[in-house]
Structure 1
Amino acid sequence: MKFLRTLAVAAFAAPLVALASGPELHLDKAPVSFENKSLQNGAKLFVNYCLSCHGASYLRYNRLRDIGLTEDQIRDNLMFTAEKVGEPMKVAIQRDEAKQWFGVAPPDLTVIARARASEFGSGADWLYTYLRSFYRDDKRPTGWNNTVFENVGMPHVLWELQGQQVAHFAEQDDGHGNKTKHFEGFEVVKPGSLNKEQYDQNVADLVSFIVWMGEPAQQTRKQIGLVVIGVLLLLAALTYLLKKAYWKDVH
């Protein structure tokens, strides 16, 4: 897992250095939800739009039962690159071919949210903002760029849902005689199949699923933690009452 996390971060090392030296990055708050309905929609989006290039090889298909899906539902609707539900969610594309096409092999996304969190404080916020910040750029090989990840090699795979937008920038003086590019906003030039609210909700579901993939047992862990804390508090109260009863005749 440590190697995978390092690989995910290293795949985009150069743009991250550029971001670190540029203006502070604004990230929108991701409305992450671990409700089964949200996670199931996120799983559907992940399989249909992400799994063709990005794997999640540290998660097995049968783990999707934790979000309320049966093995038949998993097999019939989500398994396009495997035959058995016990197999990991591996990608079909070859790494050397992907590197030739995109300039870098797409990273595995099992723990990408946790990897981004180490760089930006919130991996969910980074992913949520990133997936909503693609814009048309004819200077890029794919025809797409991103305000969060400048000169990104990944095309906008969700463009049919979001539509096409262009980014408007203005030059500003940084106070030292240097001109810097300041982002002013997006303009939609071709609507997608979803309106803005619908697209944002679908991205939120996708991000929720990606966050869940990084630690599927996190909700169970938190629930167990609350139970343990409750038991410890109860034991502390009983211990205090026992102490009072034991020492009441001593004084």
Structure 2
Amino acid sequence: MKRKLATTVFALAVGLIAQTASAASEGGGHLQHAGVNARDVAAVQRGAKWFVNYCLSCHSAQYMRYNRLVEDLGLSEDQVMNNLVFSDAKIGETMDIAMRPEQATAWLGKAPPDLSLSARSRGTDWLYTYLLTFYQDESGGWNNLMLPNASMPHVLWQLQGIQKPVYAEHGDEAVVDHLVVDTPGLQTPEEYAQTARDIATFLDYLSEPAKLQRKSIGIWVMLFLAAFALVAYALKAEYWRDVH
């Protein structure tokens, strides 16, 4: 039984290492630290604004309801409906899109993925870096260092501008060394980095909305356990005092 359990644990560890290596080799970009803090309500609010304006037309967030934004982000129903809902959806409905999967497949070649759990599956640093590393290649199409040959266009190009690659020789082939802004956007590089960080922050919140409440409750639980440990030790000492 012990040998079987050890074999299972070893197989899981090997599988996790292989999965991590595969994910790391998926793109050629280097992860940049996002510095995301899902407890920063202002950043989550800004990220929600960018998300519904630039992402929600193609990517759904079908596990999130609009009224949850009211509860967690300190917004009123009117603020959510007037600023974050651009369809006929009601406050209690999920953040879905009008485009059906079969329509998306016919028009785009592939249905865009739901982003409800993207921060948990990819990580906020990956999402942040992905939003920063779109560039226009020699064919005039969009490409990305983190996800090469992705079919997604750079929907935020007006904010960031157009980046072009600078190549370096790597053996017998040229690889992208870094990106430079060829056509400036509406935002400065620092402002766009903050926009990307806000979107990653909202996606982090989106992937686990209970995280904010869970961590707050967790602090009190740990304090209670620490206090209870003292009481339990004192009670044990009292019970065993006459024995010794």
Asked whether the two chains share a fold, i.e. TM above 0.5, the reply is yes
1:31 is aligned to 2:31: no
1:216 is aligned to 2:220: no
1:53 Cα shift? 0.4
Q: Structure 1: how far apart are the matches of 2:66 and 2:164?
A: 37
1:204 is aligned to 2:197: yes
CA contact (8 A) 1:170 1:184 kept: yes
1:74 Cα shift? 0.4
CA contact (8 A) 2:27 2:145 kept: no
Going from structure 1 to structure 2, the CA distance change for 1:24 and 1:149 (only over 3 Å counts) comes to: closer
CA contact (8 A) 2:120 2:207 kept: yes
Going from structure 1 to structure 2, the CA distance change for 1:196 and 1:25 (only over 3 Å counts) comes to: closer
CA contact (8 A) 1:138 1:144 kept: no
When the two structures are superposed, what TM-score results if normalisation uses the length of structure 2?
0.85
Alignment of 1:129-144 (within 5 A): 129-139=129-139, 143-144=141-142
Alignment of 1:60-209 (within 5 A): 60-65=65-70, 66-116=72-122, 123-139=123-139, 143-173=141-171, 179-209=172-202
Q: RMSD of the TM alignment (CA)?
A: 2.1
| Number of aligned positions between the proteins | 223
CA contact (8 A) 1:33 1:205 kept: no
Q: Structure 2: how far apart are the matches of 1:220 and 1:159?
A: 35
1:18 Cα shift? 8.7
Matched letter for residue 151 of structure 2: G
Going from structure 1 to structure 2, the CA distance change for 1:102 and 1:224 (only over 3 Å counts) comes to: same
> Which aligned runs of 4 or more in structure 1 are off by greater than 4 angstroms?
16-25
SS of structure 1 residue aligned to 2:143? strand
Q: Structure 1: how far apart are the matches of 2:27 and 2:56?
A: 32
Name stretches of at least 5 consecutive residues in structure 1 with no aligned partner: 1-15, 117-122, 174-178
1:99 Cα shift? 2.0
When the two structures are superposed, what TM-score results if normalisation uses the length of structure 1?
0.82
- Counterpart of 1:50 in structure 2 is 55
Q: Structure 2: how far apart are the matches of 1:21 and 1:193?
A: 33
CA contact (8 A) 1:82 1:89 kept: no
The share of aligned pairs that are identical, in percent, is: 47
1:102 Cα shift? 2.7
Q: Structure 2: how far apart are the matches of 1:47 and 1:23?
A: 27
Going from structure 1 to structure 2, the CA distance change for 1:18 and 1:245 (only over 3 Å counts) comes to: closer
Q: Structure 1: how far apart are the matches of 2:203 and 2:230?
A: 41
1:23 Cα shift? 7.7
CA contact (8 A) 2:135 2:142 kept: yes
CA contact (8 A) 1:30 1:204 kept: yes
- Counterpart of 2:11 in structure 1 is none
